[in-house]
Amino acid sequence: MKNNSWVLTTLLSVITSVLVLTSVNETYINNNFSVVISLVSGSVSLVLMAASCILAIRVRFFEKLFGGLDRVYEQHKWLGIWALILLGYHFLVRAGIRGPDSQSIIQAPKALAHVIQGFAAIGLAAIIVTSLNRNGIRYSLWRWIHKLSGVVFLIAATHWLTARNVVPFISPAGIWMAVLCALGAAAFIYRLVMYDLVHKGKAYVVTEINQFPRGMQLAVKPKDKAIDYHPGSFVFLSFKKKGMSEPHPFSVASAPKEDGSLSFVIRSEGDWTRKLRKELEVGTPLQVTGPYGKFHRTNNGESEVWVAGGVGIAPFMAWLENMTEPPKSPIHLYYSYREDDAIVDIDQLQTLAEEKGVAFTALCSTKGETLQQEHLNVIESAKDKIQAYYCGPEGLCMALQGLMRKTGIPANQLKTELFNFR
C-alpha cells in the first residue's frame, strides 16, 4: 500500500511558490522577505483549498487517478490540512503589502476587506477546533462545519481579489491562481447545491433484514434498474424514512446477481446505524448511489492473503460469492472478530470459503487470538508474489503492515479499504 497523499500537496505547493516568486520583483523580495513568505503561504493556501474543493466532487476520473474514493478523500484531507496551516500563518504574519509596486485586482472599500478577514478568521478557528476534536463530535455536525471550509475558501479568494498584492493578475502566477480558484469555487457550489440533485441514485426496496446483537444483514432489490458494480465496491444508502435519509457508505457484501439484488452487513456504530437496526422494515424504499471504490481483486494468479477485521468482512463476502472456479494459487482468508460483536455467522462464512477453495481462519480477538507472523508464513509462495488485501479498522491494518515487513512481503503488495472518510 503506497501512501501518496503528500504528492499532490507538494506538487501544487512547489508550482505555486515558484510562480509567485518569479512574478514578484527581485528587489521587493530582498527588502520584504517576511512579507513575501506570508504572500507565498497565502497563495499556496488558496491553491490547496481550491484543489481540495475540486477533489470533493466525486468524479470517476479522480477515483481512477488516485485508486478509489477513499484515496481521493485522503488527498482532499491533506490538501485541506496544509491549506489551513498556511492560511493560519498568512493571518498571523500578515503580508500587509504597501508601496507603488502593489495594487488590488478589484477595488473594494477598506471596511469590507476587514469584514472579509474577520469572517475568514472565525471560519478558520471553527474548522481547526472541530478538526482537533474530530472523534468527539457527531459526524453530521462535523460534516456541517466541514462545509465551512468551502466558505472560508470563497472568503480567502475574495480577499486575494480585493487586497493589495505585488503579484500582477496578468502573470503566470495570477492566471494559475485565477483558473484554480474559478474551478474550486464552481466545484464547491456544485457539491453544495447540485450534487444531490444530479446523483439521485437508483430506487431499491428492502426485501430482508437479519438482526444480530450489534448489527444487521440487509438485502435489497431494485424497483427498476440496478446499479452495475464490481465485487468490492461500496455504495451510499439513503432510506425513505424519517431520520434515515442521510446517505451513508456501505460495501456491497454480495456478488452481482441477475435480479440486481444487493446485500449488506451493517454494524451498529452510531445513532444512524442504531436507528436502522431498530426501526428499518421490509418494504422500506431506498436510494442506492454508486458504485464507488477500487477495492477490486486483481486475480492475476498470485497467492493471496485476505485479512478482514469485523465488518470489514463485507467486500470479501462479495469476492467469495463471485468466485465461479477454484483459485489457481492458494488464498487464505483471516477473519478477526470480537465475540460480543459478531455480525456474520462464522460457520456459514467458513462453509462458503471452503466451497470456493479458500482456506479460512477465524481469529477471535476477545479470546486473545490475533494475526501472527506464522499466519503469513503459511502461504507457500515467493514473498514478493503474495498479494495481500485488507479491510477493517486502522489498528489491525498497521499490525498487518508490521507483520508483512517482518515476513518480507513488500508493502506495495497490500491493497486496503478503510471504512473512514474523515
Which residues are near ligand FAD by CB under 6 A? 70, 138-139, 234, 246-251, 264-267, 269-273, 293, 311, 314, 419-422
Q: C-beta of 293: minimal distance to ligand FAD in Å?
A: 6
Helical H segments across 106-224, by residue range: 110-132, 139-146, 148-162, 172-189, 195-198
Task: Classify residue 368 as left (phi > 0), alpha (psi -120 to 50) or beta.
Answer: left
Q: C-beta of 76: minimal distance to ligand FAD in Å?
A: 13
Task: Return the number of the residue (143 or 221) whose C-beta is nearest ligand FAD.
Answer: 143
Q: C-beta of 92: minimal distance to ligand FAD in Å?
A: 31
Q: C-beta of 33: minimal distance to ligand FAD in Å?
A: 42
Q: Do you find a cis peptide bond into 247, omega within 30 degrees of 0?
A: no
Q: Which residues are CB-neighbours of 309 under 8 A, at least 6 positions away?
A: 336, 337, 390, 391, 392, 393, 396, 397
User: Rounded CA gap, 188 and 194, in Å?
Assistant: 10
Per the document, the length of the chain is 422
Name the one residue in this structure whose C-alpha cell is 462453509: 351
Task: Return the number of the residue (91 or 234) whose C-beta is nearest ligand FAD.
Answer: 234
Task: Return the number of the residue (105 or 192) whose C-beta is nearest ligand FAD.
Answer: 192
User: Rounded CA gap, 120 and 117, in Å?
Assistant: 5
Q: C-beta of 212: minimal distance to ligand FAD in Å?
A: 11
Q: C-beta of 40: minimal distance to ligand FAD in Å?
A: 34
The residue type at 215: G
Task: Return the number of the residue (139 or 360) whose C-beta is nearest ligand FAD.
Answer: 139
HSE-CB for 138 with a 13 A CA cutoff:
7
Task: Return the number of the residue (70 or 304) whose C-beta is nearest ligand FAD.
Answer: 70
Task: Return the number of the residue (138 or 199) whose C-beta is nearest ligand FAD.
Answer: 138
Task: Return the number of the residue (71 or 90) whose C-beta is nearest ligand FAD.
Answer: 71
Task: Return the number of the residue (153 or 236) whose C-beta is nearest ligand FAD.
Answer: 236
Task: Classify residue 421 as left (phi > 0), alpha (psi -120 to 50) or beta.
Answer: alpha
- What the block records as the C-alpha cell of 177 is 491562481
User: For 138, phi and psi rounded to 5 degrees?
Assistant: -60, 140
Q: Which residues are CB-neighbours of 258 under 8 A, at least 6 positions away?
A: none
Residue nearest to ligand FAD (CB): 270
Q: C-beta of 89: minimal distance to ligand FAD in Å?
A: 29
The residue type at 324: T
Are 306 and 331 contacting, i.e. CB atoms less than 8 angstroms apart? yes
